[in-house]
Structure 1
Amino acid sequence: MLLGFSDLPNLQGFLFGLLLIIYTGILTGNGLIIVITKVEPVLQTPMYFFLRNFSFLEICYTSVILPRILVCLWTQKVNISFTACAAQFCAFFMMGITENFLLTVMAYDRYVAICKPLNYPLIMNHKMCVCLVVGSWVSVIPFHILLTYLIFSLPFCGSKKLDHIFCDIRPLLKLACGDTSVNEFSVYVIVLIVGMLPFLLIMCSYVKIITTILKVPGTKGRFKAFSTYSSNLIVVLLYLGCGIITYLQPSSSHSVGLDKVFSIIYTTVTPILNPIIYSLHNKDVFALKKLLRK
């Protein structure tokens, strides 16, 4: 039984409407980015190639979680089969880890563009871009398979009530019987690798970017660059920060309510902000106007 928001019976209708609007916004915003960056010749650059792939990933990522939450809120049916739970868990972490790696690739792309502009066309050629995107998808396979095995190989013989909005690590570990310390430690190490490592690499890229921007002559150019990259950095910090807090916080300070809040943030808020942050202050908004006129 995936309880979700069943502890808030008076807010079921409100939450359904809110999440439906958010999900529609995610599909529309990211879908527009995919179409625009595909058809407009002026946007055939590495940055927009990565952005197109990132938008596709965001649609897949949220579609693993939100449709089921909406169905549960609408029908009040909270049952989920063991197989469906395992499939959701596997798909969610495959998308989530891929997103971490793709965010790292996008930060590297911006680092090369700002810090090594003369070598940018040579370094970030089409073959390299494709390899980086494919690598982001392929490299997660061992991690999400291992995570799924570590959780769903455990015996579940107690309560069948999963107090969360989707099949996640901590709620599932709570339902497992016997000694789960080895599994918990292994999960902790994996999350540390796929969460903290991308976070540190992204931070290193942005530190170098900001250092280079500070050397740019003229206040106007510096302010424009700061406004662009600070907004990107806020989204990254919001997404990775919530994920790191959720999965790496000690069990003693763990809160079910906070887990649900953080889960909503990194599964709904950041995906709907991405089309705004990554594109609306760039030239593809003009491409959108041109496309609509056509």
Structure 2
Amino acid sequence: MRRHSWWKRLHWPEYGAEFLGTAFLVFAGISAVIFDFDPSLPPVHILANTSLRMLLTGLLFAGSGTLVALSPIGMLSGGHINPAVTLAFWIQGKMHHSDLAGYLLGQFLGAILGSMLLVLVWGKHASTISYGRTVPGPDYPLAFVFFAEVGLTMLLVLAIFVFVSHHHLMRWTPFMVWILVAVMVWQEAPISGTSLNPARSFGPALISWFWQDQWLYFIAPLLGALLAVGIFRLLTRGERDVLTGKLFHVPHYRSVFKNVSAPCKSADEKPYLNI
């Protein structure tokens, strides 16, 4: 009987939280792209400066991820909503193998749901921005685009690790990510689309069935996450470790992460959701 009840021991609320959070990120973030860059909508005419609209889009897109991290579902699962971030915590020894699989599954399924909602809500407007697909900029060599995604993801994950390894900084992690990703989108989107997130790229690619160069958005962010963990270990030399697996840690929510020192409820306790 125990062999057939293993699935009951999995942390389904956390996987569901990642599913909902990633769906919201994809839907809200790409909705911002549509609103700011669809020629038939007012912002294109009111704010003619493309750079300013890109900055606004970055703030809105990254802000949707920050809202997830600060929400009850984010405080439960940690608000990763990005396979590269989850992989980094797993490599650092903060996640069980089963939770790695559950988080990744939730994130990719959430990205699909978010992309489907995007088409359902925005209709033909979604097609004007190619359904939010991330594609290499036409003026840049593919190798340059690849290493841009690697470098930016590395910077993002490394910044997260630095913040969550300090007691005084970890509460500010979602806000740091908001500003950092917004600036990345503002300055780098014409080069690679600033994915940083395999799930975010997978959802739009699937619903539009467009796979050209999409391998880049799977491999580059994961490689960037791997490099970030290596650099973090090199910089800290084992004298400092991440304190939590969550981007916004509150002690009255349970934590399914391991080898962390931030106070929290036991992973065996029922999850706390105050929605």
TM-score range, shorter chain: 0.3 to 0.5
Q: Normalising by structure 2, what TM-score?
A: 0.32
Tell me which protein shows more helix as a share of its residues.
Answer: 1
Query: Rg: which structure is higher?
Result: 1
